Amino acid sequence: MKILARALLGLAALAMLAAAWLWQTNFNDGVDIDGPAAAAAARLSPPEQRARGEYLAQAGNCLACHTARGGAPGAGGLAIATGFGTAFSSNLTPDPAHGIGQWSAAAFWRALHHGRSQDGRLLVPAFPYTHTTLLTRADSDALWAYFGSLPPSSTPTPAHELRWPYGTQAALAVWRALYFRAGSYTPEPAHDERWNQGAYLVRGVAHCSACHATRDALGGADWRDLRGGRMAAQGWYAPSLHDPRQAGLADWSVAEVARLLQTGVAERGRASGPMAEVVFHGTQHLSDSDAAAMAVYLRALPQAAPAPPPAAAPRSRLAAAGAKLYEQHCAQCHGEQGQGQGQAYPPLAGNRAVTLESVDNLLQVVLYGGFNAATAGYPRPFGMPPFLLTLSDQELAATLSHIRTAWGNRASEVSAAQVHALRSRTATAALR
Amino acid sequence: MWCSIKSLCTVVCSLACGLVLITRSDAAPAFEDSIAQRTLACTACHGDQGRAGPDGYYPRLAGKPAGYLYNQLLNFRDGRRHYGLMTHMVDVLSDAYLFEIASHFASLQVPYPPPAPPTQRAAPEVLQRGRTLALLGDAARRLPACADCHGRALMGVQTHFPALLGLPADYLTAQLGGWKTGQRRAASPDCMARIAERLSDADAYAVVSWLASQPVPAQTHAADAPLAPRPPAADLRCGSAALPANASR
């Protein structure tokens, strides 16, 4: 009896210690959001500061999430599908009731740096404070000045619709204890200034690993990791930047990587799907210096050893049937031999986006079609028609099996079940 | 005997196949660096040169006024019209490029297909009511005539009013219905939404039935300038977006 009581007492003490540590980790950040200096900084925002803030907001693609389709810029309300339910972006305009008009610059800094709201609540990490924590205070103040200059909008932010318990403060406290440390970017002396500039942008402002990191079952990751992430809710795969068979950039030139970021189209690859959105709203606005710095950093990422190419498998009947469909539907633009057409249509032979192990991206492109981003550097992209309504699961499986195994491509074939799985996950939204 | 028939068949078949292949490779247009080439993604559904899809669902684009088409592209991109496939197509395109695409289809003056036979013919009094609404409106219900804005010939008016003839009844019904339920919107102030909310279901059916039953006139160009609006139209302001600054027309 006594032993049980002691054990219970001990457990209670441990639980209290854990709770105290969780509280300490999550809430004791020591930021005085009412500090006079911060308030003064908010009042004194020179145009240069606003311009820097606007630039950072573009580079970080803030408004892509913080603007609903057709809504006032920065007024939030966009539904963001996650593996844990739907999160809604908040209103960043200076509206006093629904926006951040009553916030101080220090409260804004605390949100970016510590992931806490004006009222002290822990924020949902759909907002990538896991990355913005690296921003300097000066950059935070610049963003604050820029958002303060947007026309105020009285759009209320809908409550998140996350499954229990993911949205609770307790769950967020535990998640943060596991996956979040407030930090700042400390330049690494082993690398030069450009690499460090790139690291600050890739890891912080542009928060690339929000998609490109491999997340675990709780949605956490090592945020320096760019080893490829499945975007389950969107039905896309953000390829690994550490793998030469996926999107590794080690053998690209700095200029080529920068061109992809700034124009969406480069000699050996182009941005499609979510990355086209990133280019369109975000990275096309990067300065030459910042784009090159990101390129330097991304090129230097450690690369997986190139695997020996798989042996060419005998062509199946499925792939052979796909060859006819290819000629009928694809060859006019992509060429009889999958060679592509200049800058207009990408080659399919030797194209890493075609031979990725995950077929999600390939299926997305073929089912829904679309255009590359229209950017200043590539203003008139060519379009790909959607095949959602014209080709059956079986026909798509055959066509894709053909292009994944023809012209020297050596990837696995695609089954009708795989096509059906992605189609049924995504088509309802597409036809609404 | 059997053998020779079989070999004859084989020869004929091979010849036929060869012919088919030759015809197809001849027919496949060569790549050209043009806006028509760029918009093959559009014509895959909307028909060759934007003449309309075969099923009555994908409307004609060819010859519609550039301002109208441009605004529809913006409406899809910015969430005022809803069709996921279409929204996805225009999601990462700039205003300037959307206007170029709109202007391209606006410039295509291609023949209309012969009208599809109506699946059900409305009663004569319904058609008469539809004709009255289209050409004269209904002052008692503060309904302007379609012709007030869409042109006396109902073939559209530059630069923002589309033709109402040559469209399938299903498409017209879907659009008016969309406006009545708020599913289809235009930039604010949304004049068509005001009109649709004043239109009873019976009147909507009447006007659609009459419009869809009318032949397309020989002259299919959109008129150059709107008529002076009749009095009921004066309180109906349309808020469609202006053309981009670099627009040439």
Q: How far is residue A353 from each of residues A221, A248, A286, A358, A361, measured CA to CA in Å?
A: 24, 12, 24, 9, 7
- Predicted TM-score (pTM) of the model is 0.90
* B168 min Cα distance to partner chain A (Å): 20
Residues 6+ apart with CB under 8 A from B89: A369, A370, A371, A383, A386, B41, B42, B76
Residue B191 near residue B236 (C-beta atoms within 8 A)? yes
Rounded distance between C-alpha atoms, residue A268 and residue A270, angstroms: 7
Closest partner residue to A371 among B33, B41, B85, by Cβ? Answer: B41
Give exposure, A13-40, as e/b (b: 16+ Cβ within 10 Å): eeeeeeeeeeeebbeeeebebeeeebee
Q: Please give the pLDDT value at position B118.
A: 67
Residue B31 lies inside a defined structural domain of this protein: no
E strand or H helix at A383: strand A383-384
* A278 min Cα distance to partner chain B (Å): 9
* A75 min Cα distance to partner chain B (Å): 14
Rounded distance between C-alpha atoms, residue B126 and residue B211, angstroms: 12
Q: How far is residue A276 from each of residues A242, A264, A281, A360, B66, measured CA to CA in Å?
A: 20, 7, 9, 16, 27
Contact A432 B84 (CB under 8 A): yes
Closest partner residue to A379 among B31, B45, B94, by Cβ? Answer: B94
Residue A173, both tokens: 């406290």
Contact A368 B88 (CB under 8 A): yes
Rounded distance between C-alpha atoms, residue A421 and residue A246, angstroms: 22
Give exposure, A237-264, as e/b (b: 16+ Cβ within 10 Å): bbbbbbbbbbbbbeebebebbbbbbbbb
Interface-testing mutation among B26, B77, B88, with chain A (most A C-beta atoms within 10 A):
B88
Closest partner residue to B94 among A374, A382, A384, by Cβ? Answer: A374
Q: Please give the pLDDT value at position A72.
A: 95
User: Which residues on chain B are in Cβ contact (under 8 Å) with A432?
Assistant: 82-84
Residue A380, both tokens: 């008139």
Band of residue A427 on the pLDDT scale cut at 50, 70, 90: confident
Give the CATH number, domain containing residue B202. 1.10.760.10
Residue A272 near residue A367 (C-beta atoms within 8 A)? no
Contact A379 B97 (CB under 8 A): yes
Contact B85 A431 (CB under 8 A): yes
User: Which residues on chain A are in Cβ contact (under 8 Å) with B83?
Assistant: 431-432
Residue B246 lies inside a defined structural domain of this protein: no
* B13 min Cα distance to partner chain A (Å): 18
Nearest CA in chain A to B85: A430
Residues 6+ apart with CB under 8 A from A313: A405, A410
Q: Residues of chain A whose C-beta is under 8 A from some C-beta in B?
A: 68-71, 276-277, 279-280, 332-333, 341, 344, 368-375, 379-386, 388-390, 429-432
Compute CA A2 distance to the chain's CA centroid, rounded to the nearest angstrom: 55
Closest among A431, A430, A432, A400 to A415, alpha carbons compared:
A400
Nearest CA in chain B to A381: B38
Residue B203 lies inside a defined structural domain of this protein: yes
Please write the tens of the pLDDT for every residue from A18-37: 888 888 888 888 888 887 55
Range of the domain at B225: 124-235
E strand or H helix at B231: none
Q: Please give the pLDDT value at position A45.
A: 60
Residue B65 lies inside a defined structural domain of this protein: no
Interface-testing mutation among A69, A326, A330, with chain B (most B C-beta atoms within 10 A):
A69
* B199 min Cα distance to partner chain A (Å): 25
Q: Please give the pLDDT value at position A44.
A: 45
* pLDDT, average across residues A43-49: 74
Task: Give A229's strand partners.
Answer: A238
Residue B180 lies inside a defined structural domain of this protein: yes
- Concatenated DSSP letters for B28-70? SPPP-SSHHHHTHHHHHHH-GGG---TTSSS---TT--HHHHH
* pLDDT, average across residues A243-266: 97
- Torsion sign across C-alpha atoms A240, A246, A249, A250: positive
Residue B184 lies inside a defined structural domain of this protein: yes
Q: Please give the pLDDT value at position B168.
A: 87
What ipTM did this prediction achieve?
Answer: 0.93
Please write the tens of the pLDDT for every residue from B165-181: 999 888 999 999 999 99
Q: Please give the pLDDT value at position A309.
A: 74
Please write the tens of the pLDDT for every residue from A383-394: 999 999 999 999
Q: For chain B, what is the domain count?
A: 1
Residue carrying the six token digits 């769950």? A171
Closest among B79, B64, B75, B74 to B97, alpha carbons compared:
B74
Backbone angles phi and psi of A56, in degrees to 5: -65, -40
Rounded distance between C-alpha atoms, residue A183 and residue A176, angstroms: 13
Contact A370 B88 (CB under 8 A): yes
Residue B129 lies inside a defined structural domain of this protein: yes
Residue A153 near residue A74 (C-beta atoms within 8 A)? yes
Contact B45 A386 (CB under 8 A): yes
pLDDT at B23 over 60: no
Residue B25 lies inside a defined structural domain of this protein: no
